[in-house]
Amino acid sequence: MSDTLVFARRNLEHVRQIPEKLIDVTVQPLMFTLLFAYVFGGAIHVDGSSYREYLVGGILVQTIAFGMMGPGVSIATDLTEGIVDRFRALPTPRFAYLLGHFLAEFGAAMVALVVLTLSGLLVGWRIHEDVLHGAAAFGLLVLFAVCSIWFGTLLGLLARSPDAVQGFAFLTIFPLTFLSNAFVPSDTLPPVLQTIAEWNPVSAIVAAVRELFGNAGGAASTAWPLEHPVVAALAWCALILATVVPLTLARYRARTTG
């Protein structure tokens, strides 16, 4: 654990030396919230709710999903620059570096979550359920952040360069978040895209967050994941972790052996 904390502190020292690294978890979430709330909000109608309250759940999940890019780029950079090979020469457990990397990226994700919550309150979003439901919504977002960090780390271990991580993450997350109910109700989409959106894991997580916060989510859907969004969201997160974590550990072992 002490070695893990040392590696985590190393990553956080990079932020102190280069504060611009925090742009994607501070300025970018605020910009997205204000842009969608004040520029597009007047043109989009949501049944039973204001668009600003509908928007925040989607922005929260989208930002956390895009947060996988940071862990991927960070670990890909270390691998290509050879610093991980130098760490292997130290008397530290093999996985201390990987866990330290996870802790540092988790801290960045929590900063983004706080910034987004404050941004939502600024544009008029509110929690309409009790404290228990609100805490459950934030707990689900934290769980999804854990999934995103592990998935991003796997991308970084698979990619040959940091640029490749950025390209692949963008091609994966951009359609997943926009072909969902994150920004518009899924029933407004054409039939084929509506089916994709209804079974998209991002849609289930967004719908679960909105339900737990007590924010209206547009017209009701007959698709099972959106009829039972909390169960579906937990199932998706469990499936992601059960798949990605073993693959990440195996790939890390392969990249740091020999």
Question: What local confidence, expressed as pLDDT, does residue 221 receive?
Answer: 75
Question: What local confidence, expressed as pLDDT, does residue 163 receive?
Answer: 87
Q: What percent of the chain is modeled with pLDDT above 70?
A: 94
Q: Which domain holds residue 85?
A: 2-255
Q: What percent of the chain is modeled with pLDDT above 90?
A: 44
pTM of the model: 0.91
Question: What local confidence, expressed as pLDDT, does residue 19 receive?
Answer: 66
Question: What local confidence, expressed as pLDDT, does residue 218 receive?
Answer: 61
pLDDT tens, residue by residue, 166-198 = 888 888 888 899 899 888 888 888 999 999 999
State which residues of the chain have pLDDT below 50: none
Question: What local confidence, expressed as pLDDT, does residue 137 receive?
Answer: 96
- Indicate the number of domains in the chain: 1
Question: What local confidence, expressed as pLDDT, does residue 258 receive?
Answer: 62
Q: Are 47 and 129 in contact (CB under 8 A)?
A: no
